[in-house]
Structure 1
Amino acid sequence: MKTLYLDCFSGISGDMMIGALLDAGADPAKLVAELKKLPITEEYELKWTKVVKNGITSTKFDVLLNDIGHSHDHGHSHNHEHSHDHGHSHNRGHSHDHDHHHRSYKDIVKMIEAAGFSDRVKETSLKIFKKIGEAEGRIHNMPLEKVHFHEVGAVDSIIDIVGAAILLEQLEIDIIKSSQVPVGNGKIRIDHGVYPVPAPATLEMLKGVPIAQSELKAELTTPTGAAIVAVLAEDFCGLPAMKIKEVGYGAGTKSFKDQPNVLRVIIGE
C-alpha cells in the first residue's frame, strides 16, 4: 500500500499541501492541465518555485490572480499568508476583488461536477468542500445548501483543494496518515472581524483530530488545511513503519525564527 504521511509540525494549508506534493515528485504540468477543466471565470496563473525556509529547500506554490498579485496567499484563504500563508492569514490575499466573488457551496459542487474529473478526484474534492460547508453551516446556523464561502470560495482555495485531489491521484496514494496538527496562537482578521487562532471554521473541522501545542503567534493551520487533513487522514500517529520512497517540503508564506514553515510529506510503501 502506498502511504502518504503528513508531517504537520508547522501546520498545514492548501498551498503547503500542493507545494509538498509537487516537491515529492508530482507533475506540475499535469496539475495545470487538469485544473483547466474547472469552469473558473477569473483569470489566474499558477506558480511554483523553490525557496529556502530555515535551511530547507522547499516548493512554494502560488495562485496569482490577474495582476493583483494576490498571491496565494493563501492564507488561506484566509490569508493564507501563511504559508500560504500559512500563516495563513486567512487572507489569502485575497485580492481585492477576489474576495467579492462569494461562491455558494452549491456553485462549487456544480463546478466540480461539471469539470469532467476522474471519479476519485471528484469524490475527494467534494468531500473536502462538504466538510468546510458543514462547518460554516454550523457556525452560522444555516443549512449546507445556503452556505456561501468567502475566503474558501476564492479561486486559490478551490485550486488548492481540487489540486490536492488531483496530485493524490497522480501519485497513486492509497492511505494517508498524519501527525498531530498544531494550529498556532494569536489573532487573525477574517471577513467577520478579528478572531482568535484557530479561526472558528478551522476549529470546527478539527473536531476529532489530535491538536499539537504550539506557542507560535501565527495561524499555522488554515481552514483549507484543516479540511484536507480532517477528511483525508485515516490515522493520526508518529511516522509509520514503511520503506520511504519520496520526501517533499511545501513552503508557507511566513517565515519563523525558530522553525521552518513547511509541511513535510513522506511517501512510502
Structure 2
Amino acid sequence: MTQIELGVGTVEYRDTGGTGPVIVLLHGLLMDASLWDSVIPEISPHFRVIAPTLPFGAHRIAVRADADLSLPGTAATVRELLDRLDLRDVTLVGNDTGGAVAQLAAADPRVGRLVLVSCEAFDNLPPGLTGRTIAALGRLPAGLFRAFMQQMRLKPARRLPIAFGRLTRRGDRATRAWMAPILTQKAIARDSVRVLRAVFADRTILMRAAEDLRGFDRPALVVWAKHDRVMPPEHGRRLAELLPQGRLVEIEDTDTLIPLDQPGRLAEALRGFQSP
C-alpha cells in the first residue's frame, strides 16, 4: 500500500501501475480496499488499478479531527485523490457505500466512465436491516461502540443479518480482517462513530444524486446482485434506465459484495466495459 496526504489526513491506496486505462475502485462502510483483492489480478493486465482505503471505519490510520466524513466529503476526498495523482478519463467503480460516493463524484471531469455495483441509491439510505443497524450503532459513544463491536471477533456474530450476513456469502475472511482496526485502535473506533453519523445525516442525498445522474452523458454500467437483500434489484434497473448510456448486468449466486462472492464475473463485466 502507498500513502498520500489528503485533506482528511493520510490515505492508503493500492496502485498496480502500468499504462492501461485507469480504473478506481471504491469500497463500502466498515471495509477497506481488500474488498477488491480477488478482482484486481483479473483486471490489472487491462487497467492501471487504483484502490484507496477510504476513511470508512476499517482504515488503519486515523483521520484529522476536522475531516469531513460525510458522503459529499468522501466524494471530495476521491476527487482530490484523482487530482493529486493526475488521473484522467478514469473508470470510477463503487460497490456498497462506495457506489454512493461514486454517484456523488461522477460529475468530476476526470471521470470518463461510471460503474455502480450493488450500492445504496435513491431512498435506500441507510440500506436495509444491515444499514439501519450500523446507523443506530453510530449513535453510541465511541467506547460503547467499540465494546459492542468486540462480538465481531466471532464468526456467528459476523454472519448475522444485522452484520455481514446479508452482504456476502463467501467473504468471511475479509470481514474478519475489516473489523481489526476498530477492535484494536481506539482512534479508529472514534473515526467509525464519526463516519456513521456523518454518512447517514442526510438521508435524501442519493435522491438528489439520482437526478444529477440523468445528466451523466458518458458510458455507464450497473452491475447488480440479482437477488440482493440489502440493495433492491429494482434500484439497479432504475439506475441503468436513468443513466443516458447506462446498461445493466445482473449476477447470480452473490449478495451485495459481488467483489467477494463473484469476483470473476465482476472482472468479466469490467473488462467488457473497457474502452477500445
More strand by share: 1
TM bin, normalised by shorter chain, reads under 0.3
Q: Which has the higher contact order (CA 8 A, sep 6+)?
A: 1
More helix by share: 2
TM-score by length of 1: 0.27
